[in-house]
Amino acid sequence: MTTPMLEVEGISTIRGRVQVLWDVSLTVQRGETVAIVGPNGAGKTTLVGSITGLVPPKSGRIRINGADVTGSPPEKLASRRVALVPERRGIFAPLTVRENLLMGAYARRARRAELDADLDDVFGLFPALVRYRDAIAGSLSGGEQQMVAIGRALMAKPELLLLDEPSLGLAPKVRAEIFGALARLAERGVTILLVEQNLRLAARICGRAYLMQNGRIVGTETSDELARSARTVYLGSHG
């Protein structure tokens, strides 16, 4: 059996005085695209925070490519070839698009020519950004800012890409553009763990999903089951 890209084993996480995650386990194999779905407050962002080291779990284990990274700080992520597109994007509004993208490559110490090629790659994935290359990122639309956030994560050349609700607040057309880009990344072999409340969008690119509720994994669904659920279940977002 091959070593999973990501293994979360029985983690429990506390925020403030409240236990938010209860014995959460999941596995993502190399090359898979997996969703975490669940209602507001289920603990999805906290789970991503525990995986990335922002909110270390109080018990349980997290392994990336077989290495135990439990409690390892977020600064170490890039060297493990993991990148996060955080909830609400977290881009640097006063900087230009290009500067935002280059920040994603900060830990790589790559040569100029290599960075230029990687920037071109991001602009190829998101052609809508080309004409905003030198624009202030804060002046862009929400969808364009989401593209910048994903582009910045890609500049770290991740093997595992974590995205926390990239469709949030975006119009259907721009959602489709973003999910088209994620599908292309998946085809290239990038492993993706996607937090998504929109089941239809999740089903479009993910092979399977973990369902979260009240801080626990309460089930798993295949892509087809997810698509069926999207037609019958209302989880708080349309599209």
**Contact with ligand ATP (CB under 6 A) among 20, 182, 199, 201:** 20
* Residues making contact with Mg ion (CB under 5 A): 44-45, 87
Residue 37 DSSP SS3: strand
Contact 106, 83 (CB under 8 A): no
Q: Of 52 and 96, which has the nearer Cβ to ligand ATP?
A: 52
| Beta carbon of residue 192, minimum distance to ligand ATP (angstroms, whole number) | 17
CB-based burial of residue 176 (10 Å sphere; 0-12 exposed, 13-18 middle, 19+ buried)? middle
Contact status: 18 vs ligand ATP (CB under 6 A)? yes
28 in Cβ contact with 34 (< 8 Å): yes
189 binding partner (options ligand ATP, Mg ion, none; Cβ < 5 to 8 Å by kind): none
Residue 133 binds which entry of ligand ATP, Mg ion, none, CB below 5-8 Å type-dependent: none
Region 60-119 residues binding ligand ATP, contact defined as CB under 6 A:
87
Tell me the DSSP string of 108-163: G---HHHHHHHHHHHHHH-GGGGGGTTSBGGGS-HHHHHHHHHHHHHTT--SEEEE
Out of 8, 33, 46, 147, the only residue in the binding site for ligand ATP (CB under 6 A) is: 46
Question: Considering CB distances under 5 to 8 angstroms, the limit depending on partner class, which of ligand ATP, Mg ion, none binds residue 20?
Answer: ligand ATP
Using CB under 6 A as the binding rule, whether residue 24 contacts ligand ATP is answered as no
Q: Are 39 and 197 in contact (CB under 8 A)?
A: yes
Interface residues with ligand ATP (CB under 6 A) are 15-16, 18, 20, 38, 40-46, 87
